[in-house]
Every structure is written in C-alpha cells, then in structure tokens.
Structure 1
Amino acid sequence: MAQHDDFEATELLSEGRSSMGDPAQPLDIRFTGSGSEYFRIWIVNLLLTLITFTLYWPFARARRLAYFQNNTLVGRDPLGFHGDPWKMFRGYLLMVLFGVTYWALSNFAPALAWLPLLVLAVLWPALWRASLQFRLRNTSWRGVRMAFEGDLKGAYLCMLPVLIPVVLIGLVIALVAATTDDTAAGAMFAAATGLIVLALSAMSPWLLARIKRYQHGGYAFAQERARLEAGTGDFYGFSFRVGGVSLLCTALLAGLGGIVAAMAGSLAGAAMIVLPLLLALGYLVFPLVLMPYTTSRLQNLLWSNTRSRRIHFHSQLKFKPLMSLTAKNWLLIALTLGLYWPFAKVHTARMRLEAIGISVQGDVNAWLAQAQGGDKGILGDAAGDFFGIDMGL
C-alpha cells in the first residue's frame, strides 16, 4: 500500500508469522431482525422520548443499537453490544448544553452567537474520535471486543482542512456583526461565503478520502488493524460519477418543468391540477435516484478497499435494488403516516449488511482464542470504555 504523507503508516497489532499462505474462509453476513419486532422497540422508544422531552433518547439509541447488532450474524455468530446508556446520556447532555448556549447567545447576545459554534468546531474531531472509540469498544464478536485505535492527532489532521473554512466562516460572521453598514456587511458575507463554498466543493473528495482513511484505518479487532486502500483518485472518481448523475437528474427535471409550463397554457380544469402533481413527482425522483446511487457506490468503495493482514472485506451493494427498496419504503411511510418507518429501517439494513462479505485467512478460532487470553477481550477492554463518550455522531 502506498504511504500517505499526512498520516503515519498503519501498523498491524501483532508481529507473528504471516498467515497469507493459509486458505481463506468466507464469512457471510446475515441480518435476522424483523420489522414487527423492531416496531415494538421503536414505538416504545418514541413515546418515552416524547414523554421525557427527549431525555430518553440516549437510552432509546442504546436499545436500537443492541437490537440491530444482536441480529447481525457474522459467520452464524451475532455481534454484541455492551454500551452503557448512562455514558451515552452524558454525551447527549453535552450536546444539549451546546444547543442551549447557542440559543441563549442568539437571543440575548447575538454578537457572541458564533462563539459556541467555534468551540464546537474546534472540539468536533475529538468528540467524533471519542464516539468511534465508544461504539467500537462496546461491539464484540465471539467474545472479543473491537476497538478504534486512531489517535487524537490523526483526528485533527484529517479534519484540519474542514476546520479552517469553518473558522473562517465564524470570523466572517463576527466581522459582519461588528459592521454598521448593512450593505457592506451583506456584500462581505456573500463574497466570503461564496469563495469558501467553492473551495470546499473542489476539495470535498480529498477531504472525504482523508476522513475515511483515518476512520477505517483505526478499526481494530483481535490482533488485526484495518487499512483503507482506496486512493484519493478513487474518491474523485466517485464524486464525478455522483455529480454526473445529479446533473442528469437536473436536466431531466428542467425538461419536465419546461414541458409542464408549455402545457399549462393550453389546458384547463382537472388537467391543471394534474400537472403540478406530475412536476412534484418529478422532483421526488431526484433524491430517489441520487441517494441510493451515492449510498451504494460509497459503501462499495469503502468496504471493498478495507482490509487487514488476515481480514478482507468486499461489498456488492446494487444500485437498482436499493432504489426500488427506497421507493417502496417512501411510499409505504407516506401511506401509513410514518408507521412503516421501523420496517423500512430493517429492510434497508438487511440489504446493506448482506451485500458485505468477509474473507478471513488462517484459523479464526486460534487467533480469537489468543485475543481472548490477552488484553483485547471483553474484560481487558472494559476499563477503557470510561475514556469513550457517545455523542450520537
């Protein structure tokens, strides 16, 4: 794998003899959850979250994560979830504190409203890393907990190009608030924001590559540490394809809008009611095509290029089946006034999870037994859970 100057080389967690010569064992992923089971969990979570004015939300999230992970089978063995809802509640209170502070300053000291946003932007990489640590440390397979080994420096390095425009936007807002000339302030804000948005658009594939390289490169299990082998060019190719699909959908919608406008002058009565509905339906097609396309291509790009010395992932999520499922889910959610939502979540999770396969080289039982006897088992890593905090990110 080519080394990247921005990060240190990824090292495996073990230094034993390479097992590349051993035969590969496929591990299929199956999801056994059902919509009716999850509906009961979802409706209780929803009611308790509303009754407690959202304070139950971290506990609801813990129940949801436990359900989905316990019903995800990797080679016939389920994933485990060991997260403490009270630690998740701690992270939730921190986010609520940020929100309340921003609301108070926006209403009583507008000139300082940018301050909590700036603080949140500076802390965001650390919070994101802590959330990944919490989630991975509380996920296990066959008695061995996973881990996230990415360091704090790497989190800030991968997000630094994102933080710089965010900080600049905060400074622009502060300057605009201090300017007495409304016309000059508006022009300054529009020009600065436009330049920042253009720069971010051009840099976004590179930024996504940095972030995902750090994230997937921090995944660890037993003596294995993953790495993401997709290059920056792969992410630019992905972005160009998504952009092409977006432009195609936009052109089709523009053509449909022109046809509707031309027909509107010659039609009357019931036909005038049908045309806006057709136009609205056309605009619904845009996210219906773009979202499944982006999801399927990004999942395949990431997981087909994620591997360690003995574990290889591959993903074959198809665009058309995902688009058909998305259309069905949206229609049934609308017809049931939202009650189909948990069924949609289960069906989507099944399609996405079962599109991923795993190949493991060597004797899985042997190196899992070694991990259980070392400091990577459930008991050995439980103390480290204290340092993680779940932010719901």
Structure 2
Amino acid sequence: MQQKTNAANRGIDAYPLEFSGSGGEYFRLWFVNLLLTVLTLGFYTPLARRRTAQYFYGHTLVADSPLEFTAQGRRMLLGFVLFVALYVALKIAAQTGQNRMVAVLMLGGAALAPYFWGSAMRFRFNATRWRGVRLQFTASWGEVYRASLPAFVFSVAWIGGITEIEVLVGKGKSGSPTATGFAIAAAVVAVVVSVLCAIRLEYNYKSLMVARGRIGGQPGRWKPRFLDFVGIWMATVGVFLGVVLLVGVAIAATLGGSFALMKRTHPAGVAAVLMAAAIGVAVLFLLFLASAPARAYREARMFKLVWSNIGVSQVARFKCRLRPWRFVGLRVKNVLLTVLTLGFYRPFARVSEYRMKCTSVTLHVKGSLDQLAGQLAREELAVGDALADVVGLELVG
C-alpha cells in the first residue's frame, strides 16, 4: 500500500503511481493471447488487446485505486472485422488492376482517418474508469479535423514532390545538372515539410486528448508548447546520428578484422561462407539496434514532458521524474534479450518499461482525495451520458 506524502504548507497531497503487475504473470497472458491469435488467423487480436489493456489498467494504482478498462469485446471484434474487410477490398482492387477503385478507397481512407481517430479516442476514454468515474473525450468533429490538417499537408507535399520529379523525367531532363538539382530540392522540401507535419500532428493530437478530455465534469489542463515538441525531435535526431556513428565504427572494426581473417581461409571453404554469413547477421543486428536508443530517448522525453505539464482543471496535476537515459538503457537491454530469446522476453520487457514510466509519475491533489472522487462522481451524473455516447464507428479499441 503506498504512503501518501504531504505538501502540507499548500494543502496539496502527493500520490505516486504504482504498478503491481509482474513479468511472469503477464507472460502467461501474452502466451495465451499469441496462441489464440495464431489459431484464429488473427481474429483474436482485438480480444487479446482487450485482455492486455485490462491487465495493465487493473495493475495500475492511482492513489491506491486501480484503473478499469470496461470495453466490450464484441464491439472491438466488429470494428476489427470491418477494418480487415476494408483492407482486403483495397488489396483485391490493387491486385486486379482496378486503379480507380484503389484511388477511391485510398482517398476515402485519408478523408475518414481523422474520424476513425476521434472515434477511437472516444471509445478508449469511455472505456476507462477510476473509482467508478468515467473518462470522456469531448472534442467536436470540427476540432478533430482541424487538428488533422498536418496530415493533409503531408500528403500534398509528397504528391507535389513526386509530381515534380515525374515531370522532369517525362521531359527527358533527368540527367541534366539543373533537373537533378530541382529533383533533390523537391525531395528535401518534401522531407522537411513531412517532419514538421509529423511533429505538429503529434502535438495537435496530444493537446486535443488532454484539453478535450474530462473526468467527471472536470476538463484536462494542457501546458506544453509546440516548440517543446520540436526540441525533443531535434534532440532525437542528434541521438540517432550519434548512435549511427558509433555503430558505423563498430561495423568497420568488425568488417576489418573479419576480412583479415577471411584472407587466411580458403575462398570457397566452409569457414569463409560461415564467416560471411556471420558478418551479414552482425551488420543487420547492429543496424537494427541503431534506432532503438533514439526511439527510446524520444519516447521517454515526450512522456516526461507531457506528464509533467498536464492536470485536471485546478484540482489536480501530475509530475514526472522519468530519467530518459535510464529508460534508454532499459530499452537497449530489453531489445538484446528479446532478440536472444527469439521474442519470448518481450512480455518481461514490456512490463519493465511500463513499470519504469508508471512509477515515475506522481499525482498531486488539492484537498481531500475522497472529497475529489465524490465531486467527480456527482459531476459525471450531472453531465449525463449523451455527450460521451456520440461515438461513431468506434473502430479501434
């Protein structure tokens, strides 16, 4: 049972979050989910996700009370079947040369993507409860589509860049220095715009989730700025380039020593073949590891930024003390062990990473916790179900 710490002078109580799950316990759940998913040709996937969410929510203690995930498996399964049907229709149209149908399906999917995302958020929030009080996602469809504008700009940027290159090739100018320069410039502009759009889209979606999220009748409070996100992405690029440099040095050293050894073996011998195979595996493995620290660094920095700058109206706020480089070390260890165990360490890795993030967060509540919980329950009844139940398709659970 966690002990409440008191910031007495301001009447604010601090409740560190806890996670009571274990890797061994989750491994059994994960293995059953994997087995049933394989036996049902993937159709058990939504039910596996539901069981996984229920496990992690049920073992996450917020002020000594676990979260609840109450989504109905039947609704998640229906949404998954509909998604699979749409995907299969797209693949069949592409393989049978029905280009017009493919274009219609892709444009329709792009236009409906924000709607699907908004529906998914409503579904997830609606299915989450704490002390019997439900979370709600109250963003209007206009707000969801405005937040999704960077995705449309992203599409336009790439369509424009590809069109420019195709025009140059069609005019037979692809070999000239001027045409090459234009093609490179178009590609660079498309990449820069794409990165900025990706950052803005992530910022828009996270801010919308918090600012338009409610627990009971209390709205969320959002403080991070867009430039904070840009800074994290730039730092992530720096980490990635640094890791790539180190990996490149390691690969060069490995290849240099291996080539020297191969020169002393018969070119067609078994030893040479095995050595070449070993070198190939080592290079691929190192390249796979190169992106892991950067992705973990970004994930940890983003988690800390968000959870240190959000709250519930003026009555509660969160603070996060996650150490990004410690999380990077844990991720690298988990990747190595997962590869060495052919994937069977993955459940233990997931639990350890979730535990580190969860226990780094502290909830600060103004006044009595029981009083706050009672107030949230009363305000939820006052708001009623109408607002939260305009859910749409709820495709993703």
Is the pair's TM-score, using the shorter chain for normalization, greater than 0.5? Answer: yes
Structure-2 separation of matches of 1:111 and 1:156: 27
Moved more, 164-173 or 354-363: 164-173
- 1:75-154 aligned at under 5 Å gives the runs 75-112=63-100, 113-154=102-143
The answer to whether the 8 A contact 1:134-1:388 is kept is: no
**In the superposition, relative to structure 1, how do residues 189 and 99 fare at CA in structure 2: closer, same or farther (>3 Å)?**
farther
**In the superposition, relative to structure 1, how do residues 24 and 388 fare at CA in structure 2: closer, same or farther (>3 Å)?**
farther
- 1:1-393 aligned at under 5 Å gives the runs 23-112=11-100, 113-166=102-155, 169=158, 195-268=189-262, 269=265, 279-280=283-284, 282-307=286-311, 308-376=313-381, 380-381=384-385, 384-385=388-389, 387=391, 389-392=393-396
Moved more, 121-130 or 315-324: 315-324
Instruction: Write the deviation string for residues 219-277 of structure 1: whole angstroms up to 9, x where unpaired.
Output: 21123211321112211211111111112122223333444455455333579667666
SS at match of 2:199: helix
The TM-score, its normalising length taken from structure 2, stands at 0.81
Structure-2 separation of matches of 1:183 and 1:27: 68
Moved more, 136-145 or 308-317: 308-317
**In the superposition, relative to structure 1, how do residues 60 and 281 fare at CA in structure 2: closer, same or farther (>3 Å)?**
closer
Paired position in structure 2 for 1:7: none
**In the superposition, relative to structure 1, how do residues 184 and 136 fare at CA in structure 2: closer, same or farther (>3 Å)?**
farther
Structure-2 separation of matches of 1:87 and 1:382: 19
**How many correspondences in the alignment?**
372
SS at match of 1:266: helix
Structure-1 separation of matches of 2:66 and 2:12: 21
**Greater C-alpha radius of gyration:** 2
In the TM superposition, what is the alpha-carbon distance from 1:282 to its structure 2 partner?
Answer: 3.7
The answer to whether the 8 A contact 1:23-1:362 is kept is: yes
Name the aligned partner's letter for residue 371 of structure 1. L
The answer to whether the 8 A contact 1:71-1:78 is kept is: yes
**In the superposition, relative to structure 1, how do residues 266 and 243 fare at CA in structure 2: closer, same or farther (>3 Å)?**
same
Name the aligned partner's letter for residue 288 of structure 1. A
CA RMSD of aligned residues (A): 3.5
**In the superposition, relative to structure 1, how do residues 131 and 27 fare at CA in structure 2: closer, same or farther (>3 Å)?**
same
**In the superposition, relative to structure 1, how do residues 184 and 356 fare at CA in structure 2: closer, same or farther (>3 Å)?**
farther
Structure-2 separation of matches of 1:210 and 1:96: 28
The answer to whether the 8 A contact 1:329-1:344 is kept is: yes
Name the aligned partner's letter for residue 237 of structure 1. G
**In the superposition, relative to structure 1, how do residues 67 and 257 fare at CA in structure 2: closer, same or farther (>3 Å)?**
closer
Moved more, 247-256 or 66-75: 247-256
Structure 1: gaps spanning 5 or more residues:
1-20
SS at match of 2:343: coil
Name the aligned partner's letter for residue 78 of structure 1. P
The answer to whether the 8 A contact 2:125-2:134 is kept is: yes
Structure 2: gaps spanning 5 or more residues:
1-8, 266-270
SS at match of 2:380: coil
**In the superposition, relative to structure 1, how do residues 184 and 316 fare at CA in structure 2: closer, same or farther (>3 Å)?**
farther
SS at match of 1:243: helix
Structure-2 separation of matches of 1:340 and 1:382: 44
Structure-1 separation of matches of 2:346 and 2:14: 33
Structure-1 separation of matches of 2:323 and 2:127: 30
Structure-2 separation of matches of 1:121 and 1:133: 19
The answer to whether the 8 A contact 1:114-1:170 is kept is: no
In the TM superposition, what is the alpha-carbon distance from 1:201 to its structure 2 partner?
Answer: 2.0
In the TM superposition, what is the alpha-carbon distance from 1:383 to its structure 2 partner?
Answer: 9.0
Moved more, 228-237 or 161-170: 161-170
**In the superposition, relative to structure 1, how do residues 93 and 275 fare at CA in structure 2: closer, same or farther (>3 Å)?**
closer
**In the superposition, relative to structure 1, how do residues 371 and 244 fare at CA in structure 2: closer, same or farther (>3 Å)?**
same
In the TM superposition, what is the alpha-carbon distance from 1:215 to its structure 2 partner?
Answer: 2.1
Name the aligned partner's letter for residue 235 of structure 2. R
**Percent same amino acid among aligned pairs?**
28
SS at match of 1:357: strand
